[in-house]
Structure 1
C-alpha cells in the first residue's frame, strides 16, 4: 500500500513537470530591462550625431524640448517625453552645458506628495533663461517602430546647427509591446503610454 501511494505520487508529480512544455515553443522575448536599456543606446547615438561636428563652448547652453508627434506638433506621449529626458542625460555625459527650462527656482513642499522644483506652469517658471541652443524633434509612428528626427537649433538665429535621425524599433524601451502570460500562453499587447 505504501509503495502504491508513493508510485501514484511520483506519477502525479511527473505529470505536473510537463504541463508547461508548450510554452517553450514561443520565440525568445528579451527581459524588460534589456528592452528599456536599448532605448538609451538609440538616444546615445542621436546625441553623438547632434554633437559630432559642432564646437560647443563652455558659455553655450542647451535646452531640450519635448519630442513631438510629427502629425501633431502640439502633441507627444510617454515615448517623446522619455526620449527628451534621456537626451538630457546623454548630452550631459558628453560635457554639454545643459539648461533645465522647467525649473521653478524654488523647492515647493507638498505634504503627502513630496518636494518639487520642476513645473510646466508658465507662471511658476523663470522669465529669463540663458539658452544658446535648443534641441527640437519629432517622431513618426510605423508598425515596426518610430522614426525620430532631432535638430540642434541656435535660438537667436533659428539656424539648424546639426541634425540627427534614428529609427527606434518597437522592441526598444517605451515603444515595445508588453508580453504577459495569460492562462499559460504568452500574449503581446501594445505598450501603454508612460
Structure 2
C-alpha cells in the first residue's frame, strides 16, 4: 500500500506555488520569482481577461475616439465622434453605403413621426372662394394643430397659401374697383360735355 501512495505523489502535478495556470493556457507557466500568491492570481486574471477578448475589441476599447473632421453650416467644427472607418461622423460621411443608411434613417424618422401623429388626417378640400371659406378652413387647421393631428409648420404652410389666395382676391377686387371708378369718371366727363 505504501508503494501505491508513493506512485500517486509522483504522478501528481507540481505544487501550486511554483506554477501559474492561465484560464486559456493548457500548459502550466512558472510564476515570477518572488511573486506572492495574490500577485500571481492577479496576473492570471489579467492574462485570461485580455486573452478572452478579441484583439479588435481591445484595440477599440484602448484607442482614443476621434472627432468628425467636418465643419457645421455655421463654420464651427463638428463635435460628433467619427465613424471607425471614416474621418467623418454618420451625418457628414460621404461614403455611398453610409449615405444610403442616412437616407433610410431619415425615411424611418418621417414614417415614425407620421405614425406618432396617427397618420395623415382627413381635411376637407380647401375651397378659398370667399373670405368666410378661408376663415372656416383656417379654424379647422387650428383645431387640428391643437389636437396634435398636424404640426404647426404644416398649418403655417396652408395658412400662407390661404393668405396668398386672399391677396390675389384683393388684387382682383381692387382692379374691379379701379375699372368701375374709371367708368364713372368717363360717364361724368361725358355728362359734363353733353348739351342741356
More strand by share: 1
Fold match (TM-score > 0.5)? no
Relative contact order: is structure 1 or structure 2 higher (C-alpha 8 Å, sep ≥ 6)? 1
Higher-Rg member (1/2) = 2
TM-score normalised by structure 1 residue count: 0.22
